[in-house]
A = this chain, B = another copy of it.
Amino acid sequence: MRAVIPYKKENAKSRLSSVMTKDERETFVELMLKDVIQTLTEAGVQNIDILTTDTGDVANDIGVRVIEDRADLNPALNSYLKGLNEPVLIIMADLPLVRSEHIQQITSSPSDVVIVPGKGGGTNMLFIRQPEGFHVKYYGSSFRNHCRIVNDLSMSMNVYDSFLASTDIDEPQDLIEVMLHGQGLSREYIRQRFRAEVGNGRVQLSTID
């Protein structure tokens, strides 16, 4: 099996711009990527590909294969899948809470497809046993899209239920989850920059001056 991580660094995570500068966001996505690679490696995944629109976005010392495709996410992933004749895990780069146990459980599922929903209708991970003939449709309500695609192909599906794996980091309120439940480089980065503000509702983060 292989894992593929779609990745874009340039001006990434614009919805975090109210709390992080462009440079900080670019540093942070790189740290999240490194955490995801570390998790995959700990889970025993040996073949890891980064799929990026610009090879220059990826640090030289990243230690995994980097594939450049200037197309958008969906066409890029779909041409990647076309050439594959082994199981593949598509895992997003903004999942610093994922642990190696999740990866092991997902990739050992007997289902044709395992889907990990993201917050707000997204798809955080997609494990596809036979990628030939499958296509992805990210953005918008991709969870529903992928359920429909699996159904149309008469494949079996497992929706993997994990708070940690479903927490993609897109918006300021997601950063509190990195601080509380994270690990690795991205948690360290957030802990250095923010502190938890406790009120009556959900915990908020404020910048450490």
Contact = CB atoms under 8 A, between A and B. Distances in A.
A17 interface: no
A121 B196 contact: yes
| Interface residue tally on A, bucketed by range | 20 to 34
A195 to B, nearest CB: 11
A181 interface: yes
Interface in A168-209: 170-171, 173, 176-177, 180-181, 196, 198-204
A82 interface: no
For this chain, the copies found in one complex come to 2
A124 to B, nearest CB: 9
Interface of A: 15, 117-122, 139-141, 143-144, 161-166, 170-171, 173, 176-177, 180-181, 196, 198-204
20 contacts: A15-B201, A118-B202, A119-B173, A119-B177, A120-B173, A120-B177, A120-B201, A120-B202, A121-B176, A121-B196, A122-B202, A140-B198, A140-B203, A141-B196, A141-B198, A141-B203, A162-B162, A163-B163, A170-B201, A170-B202
